[in-house]
A and B are shown apart, each in its own frame.
Chain A
Amino acid sequence: MQRFDRVTGPAAPLLRPNIDTDVIIRAERLVGTPKEEMGRYAFEAWRYRSDGTEDPGFVLNRPPFRSAPILLAGPNFGCGSSREAAVWALAGIGVRCVIAPSVSDIFAGNALQNGLLPVVLPEETVRGLAALIEADPDRARITVDLEAQTVIGPDGAVHPFAIDPDRREALLAGLDDIGLTLRQAGAIAAWQAEDRRRRPWVWLEALT
Chain B
Amino acid sequence: MPATLLDRLWEAHRVAPAGAGRDVIHIDRILLHDLSGARALAEVAEKGYGVANPALVFATPDHAVSTAPGRTAETFRPGAPGVALLREGARRHGIRLFDLGEDGQGIVHVMAPELGIALPGLSIICGDSHTCTQGGLGALAFGVGSTELAHALATQTLRLAKPRAMRVRLDGRFPKGTTAKDAVLAAIGRFGAGAGAGCAIEWAGEAVRALPVEARLTLCNLSVEMGARIGFIAPDETVFEWLAGRDFAPRGAAWDAAVAAWRSLRSDDDACFDIDLAMEASGIAPQVTWGTSPEHVIAVDQPIPSPDSAPDAGRREAWAAALAYQGLQPGRPLEGLPIDWVFIGSCTNARLSDLREAAAIVAGRTVAPHVSAWVVPGSERVKRAAEAEGLDRVFRSAGFSWREPGCSLCVAANGEAVPPGARCLSTSNRNFVGRQGRGARTHLASPATAAASAIAGRIVDIRKPF
Contact = CB atoms under 8 A, between A and B. Distances in A.
B78 A32 contact: yes
Most buried by B among A23, A32, A82, A83: A82
12 contacts: A22-B433, A23-B434, A79-B224, A104-B194, A105-B163, A109-B144, A178-B47, A191-B15, A192-B156, A195-B26, A207-B54, A207-B55
Interface in A140-189: 164-167, 169, 177-178, 180-182, 184-185, 187-188
A54 to B, nearest CB: 17
Contact of A20 (B12, B156, B432): B432
A132 to B, nearest CB: 16
Given A18-B295, A18-B318, A80 B26 contact: no
A198 B54 CA distance: 20
B127 interface: yes
Given A16-B321, A102-B194, A84 B155 contact: no
B161 interface: yes
A102 B159 CA distance: 21
Given A83-B36, A167-B22, A181-B18, A17 B434 contact: no
A195 B11 CA distance: 12
B447 interface: no
A102 B144 CA distance: 18
Contact of A80 (B146, B147, B432): B432
A110 B129 CA distance: 12
A79 B47 CA distance: 29
Nearest to A110: B145
A171 B411 CA distance: 32
Contact of B314 (A16, A23, A114, A177): A16
Contacts of B82: 31
Interface string A80-95: 1111100100000000
Interface string B153-184: 01111010101000000000000000000000
A107 to B, nearest CB: 8
Interface residues of A, number: 60
A9 to B, nearest CB: 24
Contacts, number: 215
B227 A22 contact: no
Interface string B306-345: 0000000011011001000000000000000000000000
Nearest to B14: A191
A206 to B, nearest CB: 4
Contact of A22 (B56, B81, B435): B435
Interface in B128-160: 128-129, 142-148, 150-151, 154-157, 159
Nearest to B194: A76
Given A31-B78, A177-B159, 12 more contacts: A23-B433, A75-B197, A102-B194, A106-B224, A114-B147, A166-B20, A181-B18, A187-B15, A192-B156, A201-B249, A202-B122, A206-B55
Interface string A24-50: 001110111000000000000100001
Interface of A: 15-18, 20, 22-23, 26-28, 30-32, 45, 50, 74-76, 79-84, 87, 102-106, 109-110, 113-114, 164-167, 169, 177-178, 180-182, 184-185, 187-188, 191-192, 195, 199-207
Interface size class of B (residues with CB under 8 A): 35 or more
B198 A105 contact: yes
B119 interface: yes
B305 interface: no
A104 B163 CA distance: 12
A45 B19 contact: no
B21 interface: yes
Given A113-B147, A192-B156, A32 B81 contact: yes
Given A84-B36, A166-B159, A178-B150, A16 B64 contact: no
A30 B78 CA distance: 10
**Would you list the 9 A-B pairs with minimal beta carbon distance, nearest first?**
A76-B194, A164-B21, A166-B19, A84-B145, A110-B145, A201-B250, A27-B413, A82-B143, A165-B20
A187 B144 contact: no
A166 B224 CA distance: 25
A203 B434 CA distance: 41
Contacts of A27: 63, 411-413, 435
A47 B312 CA distance: 25
Given A23-B434, A26-B434, A167-B21, A206 B94 contact: yes
A191 B129 CA distance: 28
